[in-house]
Amino acid sequence: MYKSRIAKTCFTIAVFLIIGLLFACTSPAIPPASPEEASVPPTTTPSLPKPSNPIQTTTPPDESSTVPDRVDVIYFHRPQRCVTCLCFEERVRYVVSTYFQNELNSGKMTFGVYDMGDSKNADIVNKYGAIGSQLFINTVKDGADNIRDIQDIWSWHCTSNKQSFDQKVKNVIDQSLEDIE
């Protein structure tokens, strides 16, 4: 009887830990100030705040100049991160630095990683409506944002099939770059 009670207690603790990890990756870190701000992103691109751990990003133009057509690859993460969330950032960084260095250098593409728990990133978090570990591709054409939340990354098996994950991220970025040409 004693062993069965210990087994039940261990099982209950394991279930709570698993549920906690699942919610750690999906719950919002910074709630939007109002429902209106979260539902409608701005139609023009403001200057982006400096990302944490950038990969040779280009500096966005100041507001007085013409906004060039470009693709912004943006990855958000929460302060507490699971193995999958860490894999997302690692693999997206790899894809961007391996396949798109010329586009970064020319300004045709930017890349940023933002910690949602850092208050200096609140404006960009609100702009994209980020609520957890998420990859966004913003195709800026004629000064207008075309923001896509790439929710499919959760089904691309980052931790178990990195090559396939990398190829899918590369394809999404390639398609967005074609959209600005």
- Residue by residue, pLDDT tens for the chain (181 residues) are 656 666 566 555 654 444 444 444 544 443 333 333 333 333 333 344 444 444 433 344 444 456 689 999 999 999 999 999 999 999 999 999 999 999 999 999 999 999 999 999 999 999 999 999 999 999 999 889 999 999 999 999 999 999 999 999 999 999 999 988 8
User: Quick one: pLDDT at residue 180?
Assistant: 83
Cβ-based neighbours of 129, under 8 Å, separated by 6 or more? 32, 38, 39, 41, 149
User: Quick one: pLDDT at residue 176?
Assistant: 94
- Distances in Å between the alpha carbon of 162 and those of 52, 87, 95, 128, 147? 23, 9, 11, 26, 25
The DSSP letter of residue 51 is P
Query: Which domains are delineated in the chain?
Result: 2-179 (3.40.30.10)
Starting at the earlier edge strand, list the strands of the sheet with 147-149: 109-115, 70-77, 134-140, 147-149
User: Quick one: pLDDT at residue 56?
Assistant: 38
By C-alpha distance, which of 56, 139, 68, 148 is closest to 98?
Answer: 56
Compute φ and ψ for 145, nearest 5 degrees. -80, 140
Burial 71-110 (b: 16+ CB within 10 A, else e): bbbbbbbbeebbebbebbbebbbbbbeeebeebbeeebbb
Residue 132's Cβ-count burial label (10 Å; 0-12, 13-18, 19+) is middle
For residues 75 and 72, what is the distance between their CA atoms, to the nearest angstrom?
Answer: 10
